[in-house]
Structure 1
Amino acid sequence: MANETPVHFFDINSNLPIPSKSWSPNTLRTRLVLNFKKIPYTQSFISYPDIAPLLKSASVPPLHGARVPYTLPAIAHPSSIGTSHGVLNDSWPIALHLEKTFQSPQHPTLFPSAGSYALALAVARVLNAILPPTRMILLPKIPQILDERGAEYFRRTRAEWFGRSLEEMLSDTEGVEKSWADVEVELKLLADMLRGPPGVNGGGKKKGPFFEGEQAGYADLLFAAFLAWYERGDRKDWERAVSIGDGEIRRFWDACLPWIHGQGEEKEYVFDKEG
């Protein structure tokens, strides 16, 4: 059933070239899952102001309690998703659905050990702690990588959220450096997690670049998507982020590049009118 038709992946548009066109940390999570699990998929890039109309037309319910009730990522796969148009959004439910639908050994598992799911939750919690200061660092730079309509939408809505313009946030150099101090604390923790406990394999270096060593899982994809947000938003900020620690984060990034860069076939998705 899972292989009758490809999964279609809805990503957020940008003006960046392939394979860097995908930039959102949330949509990148889904892209990395699709690539990691070797799931055939098609893709389309949606401008910000078109996201809510798209999801409403597919009868996707708003996200409960979210500041943005209609957002991407979303996937369409009517043969496995039991909704009127076969559409599911929100990165974590999408990951769990794809894990259940496209199972190992044909498709690599997101949770290779008994502790993998708990590890993913722990990494997600650390990334949630980094999110507020990262917004201060990156959000003012995002409009420059968006299409014209998306950039206008982004500037307007974020100014409404934060009570000041993105340009004002960018000029607050003291606030940006304070945010970096907060980010570096959490990235140092993630670098320590990648390094492993002292005394393992001599010198405290475990085998493999991932959180669980040589085997990657969903925890790794979450962190890789976050780092890709930095890399797409501002290369200098990304360089500062991956330089934290003793090379663990940079080695981790290099190991994740095939999943970060992977692309589906570009295709406009048309919903079944009878769905």
Structure 2
Amino acid sequence: MIILYDVPSNIPQPWAPNIWRIRLILNYKRLPYRTCWVEFPDVEQTLQSAGAAPTSVRSDGRPVYSLPAIVDPIRSPRQPVVLSNANAIAEYLETTYPARQLFPEGSRAVQSLFVHYVQEIFVKPLLPIMVPLSHQRLPERSKTHFRHSSPNVAVPEQAWRAVQDQFDFLAAVLDKNAGMDGDGVVAQGFEVSYADFAVCSVLIWIEKVSPHDGWARIKQWNGGRWSRLWDRCHSYMDVF
């Protein structure tokens, strides 16, 4: 059984978007897995013990370990595959378990570019809103791990307008699929793909952490498009 490492919180459901991206894939591909909960102060030691490579290196040369991470005992429990980068995990799962394809033939490059946009540009205006809210959802021990957390202040409307600009842009791009080329909801035309899970994981983050302000707004934007995408992905949102 695959192990997926995730961070615990003080709400019933997990919220971390990069980890949800992998959980959606595991559920979509119907792969047996279990979640192992790791508080932020324990991530480095846990992943080192599992044999994971660092996800990046600081300017001072120190390795950085981060989630998501998986341990797959496909070869043997003594020599599992251990990965700790969301995109690397996604490609590994697609290659190793090709049933229920998420990368239609010839789409890996375009989907990789799409997901890079989601990670680096689309979510950027969300960070000042969502990071402080997410910090509040952490257990006390994990809260203290992040010494420079932002205070809990009211979010100005101009911050939400910057978020809506990104959603409007992405909606206009996806609209190009409406009609003969697709249903206009998912990125690859008619079937869900890795690109959709990248966007939906952001929606899950917002819904779990800011259901009455953030998600209440966003699900009404662009004619309810984001609510429809949520519905398309909803059957893959189980937590094991």
TM-score interval, smaller chain: 0.7 to 0.9
1:208 to partner: Cα distance: 6.4
Alpha-carbon spacing, 1:114–1:66, altered in 2? closer, same or farther (3 Å) = farther
Match of 1:227 in 2: 203
Gaps of 5+ in 2: none
What is aligned with 1:141?
A: 133
Partner-residue secondary structure (3-state), 1:171:
coil
- The aligned runs of 1:21-170 (5 Å cut-off) are 21-65=13-57, 69-80=64-75, 86-103=81-98, 107-115=99-107, 117-154=109-146, 156=147, 159=148, 165-167=149-151, 170=152
Residue 242 of structure 1 contacts residue 249 of structure 1 at CA under 8 Å; is this kept in 2? yes
In structure 2, how many angstroms separate the alpha carbons of the residues matched to 1:219 and 1:228? 15
Counterpart of 2:161?
181
Q: Paired residue for 1:257, among 234, 237, 240?
A: 234
**Partner residue of 1:171?**
153
Aligned to 1:237: 214
Q: Secondary structure at the match of 1:178?
A: helix
Aligned residues: 236
Kindly indicate whether the alpha-carbon contact (under 8 Å) linking 1:59 and 1:84 is maintained by their aligned counterparts in 2.
Answer: no
Say if 2:11 is the partner of 1:16. yes
Moved more, 216-225 or 35-44: 35-44
Cα pair distance change 1:208/1:60, threshold 3 Å:
same
TM-score scaled by structure 1?
Answer: 0.77
1:51–1:71 CA contact under 8 A, matched in 2? yes
- Highest Rg: 1 or 2? 1
SS in 1 for 2:221: coil
Return closer, same or farther for 1:248/1:116 CA change in 2, 3 Å cut-off: farther
Give the C-alpha shift of residue 39 in structure 1.
0.9
Unpaired runs of at least 5, structure 1: 1-5, 160-164, 265-275
Distance of 2:17 and 2:117 partners within structure 1: 14
Sequence identity percentage: 30
Q: AA paired with 2:153? A: S
Counterpart in the other structure of 1:269: none
Deviation at 1:196, TM superposition (A): 2.9
TM-score normalised to structure 2 length: 0.87
* SS of residue paired to 2:223: coil
Deviation at 1:181, TM superposition (A): 2.3
User: 2:189 corresponds to which residue?
Assistant: 213
* Matched AA of 1:215: E
RMSD, matched Cα:
2.6
Question: How far 1:178 sits from its partner (Å)?
Answer: 3.3
